[in-house]
């Protein structure tokens, strides 16, 4: 047992059984000033206000649930900094991909990289994320693009899951781009054929359902083949209004992600479903794409999650506080809306919100302890000032 005392502000409190927040509730969260929190067996046993003696001094700082990052591609080899220069010189994401750069470039690098080296490089990023307060993360395959290399990625994700204190969820994203040497049709069939083996490792299946990548029909076939084996989480509407949201909802996707380009039809399609719309402002920032219409989703009564999309091509950054700040600055979310988007709702979007994402009795005591003087508004406002004293997993 341990007890955190001298907490200036305990924020992110939710009643038991609240697994996501939607509509007006996304703008609310419980807070206590001058608080304490008792931990038993790594879980939040109790909390309250007033002076207490304990073994972890919060030094008057804020205590919040750790960040949950429900969408990353952090297992990759090498770097794509060469393409960064192409981008600066004016080439779009699609043009870089069409020249053999992009995802296929990462696939070639990954193919040449031994598995233990891929693990080593990826662990550098996982440690960076944990240091910045991420306590649960999802990692996708999708730089293998053939059966051997996709499984190599899934094994590396499993090894990361076994070695880090953060919780890791694994997603099979075979349908990220057409693998080298395949026709479109042959590769879609190859992805379908990989599903049983991938399901031995992964929790989720993902498809990049977007213009120039996979069609709604491809997505429908892949998700049908994965039914009962892997829950869908879909890349949709990054490059075009793709129909990916609707096909995701049809297959009861846990989340539909990106949504830089959405119309009212997507918002309508999501109402009353269990699917979490998830936006990735880091890729809007890096690629110069429109930011998702998070505010409109919330006005329509939906909840919104935010994640980093940490990857070498469209978002080389896994800083969830920066994601939260962009939610406020670029998407006009209130600090509490953005905070709920990077904690409880992103935990929901990766299937861990029974355990993570809020200060709730019984949940894992996966917490960020901040320096004194911080609150949720300052977190998004002063978004580059170091704020973390300690992360508990």
Q: Based on the shown chain and the rule CB under 6 A, indicate whether residue 291 belongs to the binding site for ligand NIG.
A: no
Question: Tokens 């969260």, residue?
Answer: 29
Nearer to ligand NIG (CB atom), residue 292 or residue 312: 312
Q: For the window 62-101, what string marks contact with ligand NIG as x by the rule CB under 6 A?
A: -----------x----------------------------
Task: Count, in order, helices (H) and strands (E) of the chain.
Answer: 15, 15
Return phi, psi of residue 173, to 5°. -115, 50
Q: Based on the shown chain and the rule CB under 6 A, indicate whether residue 103 belongs to the binding site for ligand NIG.
A: yes
Nearer to ligand NIG (CB atom), residue 26 or residue 311: 311
The residue number with the shortest CB distance to ligand NIG is 313
Give the one entry of Fe ion, ligand NIG, none that residue 106 binds, where binding means its C-beta sits below a cut-off of 5 to 8 angstroms depending on kind.
ligand NIG
Helices (H), the chain: 81-88, 93-98, 102-112, 115-131, 147-163, 184-198, 216-226, 244-250, 264-270, 281-287, 294-299, 320-329, 335-342, 344-348, 376-381
What is the DSSP code (8-state) at residue 300?
Answer: T
For the chain, give percent helix, strand, coil, nearest 5.
35, 25, 40
Largest Cα separation within the chain, whole Å, is 67
Q: How far is the CB of 71 from Fe ion (least distance, A)?
A: 6
Nearer to ligand NIG (CB atom), residue 26 or residue 314: 314
Instruction: With CA atoms as reference, report the closest residue to 66 among 357, 376, 345.
Output: 357
Q: How far is the CB of 315 from ligand NIG (least distance, A)?
A: 6
Strand partners, 61: 372
Window contacting Fe ion (CB under 5 A); options: 142-150, 195-203, 268-276, 303-311: 303-311
Return phi, psi of residue 46, to 5°. -165, 160
Sign of CA dihedral 285, 289, 290, 293: negative
Q: How far is the CB of 176 from ligand NIG (least distance, A)?
A: 6
Q: How far is the CB of 281 from Fe ion (least distance, A)?
A: 13
Instruction: With CA atoms as reference, report the closest residue to 136 among 170, 172, 169.
Output: 169
Residue of 150, 260, 309, 337 that binds ligand NIG (CB under 6 A): 309
Q: Based on the shown chain and the rule CB under 6 A, indicate whether residue 125 belongs to the binding site for ligand NIG.
A: no
Q: How far is CA 66 from CA 8, 137, 176, 318, in A?
A: 17, 11, 29, 14
Window contacting Fe ion (CB under 5 A); options: 29-37, 43-51, 151-159, 304-312: 304-312
What SS3 state is found at 138?
strand
Residue of 312, 316, 318, 351 that binds ligand NIG (CB under 6 A): 312
Residue of 113, 314, 345, 358 that binds ligand NIG (CB under 6 A): 314
Residue of 149, 210, 266, 309 that binds Fe ion (CB under 5 A): 309
Nearer to Fe ion (CB atom), residue 35 or residue 307: 307
Q: Based on the shown chain and the rule CB under 6 A, indicate whether residue 316 belongs to the binding site for ligand NIG.
A: no
> Where does this chain bind Fe ion (CB under 5 A)?
309
């Amino acid at each position: 047992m341990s007890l955190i005392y001298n907490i200036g502000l305990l924020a992110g409190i939710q009643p038991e059984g609240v697994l996501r927040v939607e509509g007006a509730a996304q703008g609310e969260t419980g807070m206590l000033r001058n608080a304490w929190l008792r931990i038993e067996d790594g879980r939040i046993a109790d909390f309250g206000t007033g002076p207490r003696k304990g073994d972890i001094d919060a030094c008057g700082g804020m205590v919040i649930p750790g960040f949950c990052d429900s969408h990353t591609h952090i297992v990759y080899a090498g770097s794509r900094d060469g393409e960064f220069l192409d981008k600066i010189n004016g080439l779009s994401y699609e043009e870089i991909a069409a020249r053999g750069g992009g995802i296929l470039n990462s696939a070639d690098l990954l193919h040449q990289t031994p598995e233990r080296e891929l693990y080593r490089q990826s662990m550098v990023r996982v440690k960076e994320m944990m240091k910045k307060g991420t306590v649960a993360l999802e990692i996708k395959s999708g730089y293998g693009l053939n059966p051997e290399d996709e499984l190599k990625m899934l094994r590396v994700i499993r090894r990361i899951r076994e070695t880090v204190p953060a919780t890791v969820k694994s997603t099979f994203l075979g349908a990220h781009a057409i693998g080298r040497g395949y026709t479109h049709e042959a590769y879609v069939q190859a992805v379908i054929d990989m599903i049983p083996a991938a399901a031995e490792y992964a929790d989720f299946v993902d498809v990049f359902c977007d213009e120039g990548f996979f069609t709604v029909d491809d997505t429908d076939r892949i998700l049908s083949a994965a039914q009962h084996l892997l829950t869908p989480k879909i890349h949709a509407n990054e490059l075009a209004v793709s129909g990916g949201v609707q096909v995701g909802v049809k297959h009861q996707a846990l989340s539909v992600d990106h949504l830089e380009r959405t119309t009212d039809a997507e918002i309508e399609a999501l109402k009353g479903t269990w699917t979490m719309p998830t936006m990735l402002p880091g890729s809007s920032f890096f690629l110069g794409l429109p930011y998702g219409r998070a505010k409109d989703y919330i006005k329509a009564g939906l909840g919104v999650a935010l994640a980093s999309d940490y990857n070498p091509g469209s978002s080389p950054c896994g800083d969830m506080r920066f994601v939260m700040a962009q939610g406020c600055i670029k998407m006009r979310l209130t600090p509490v809306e953005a905070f709920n988007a990077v904690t409880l709702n992103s935990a929901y979007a990766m299937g861990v919100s029974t355990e993570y994402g809020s200060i709730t009795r019984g949940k894992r005591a996966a917490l960020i302890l901040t320096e004194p003087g911080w609150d949720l508004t300052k977190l998004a406002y002063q978004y580059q000032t170091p704020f973390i004293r300690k992360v508990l997993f």
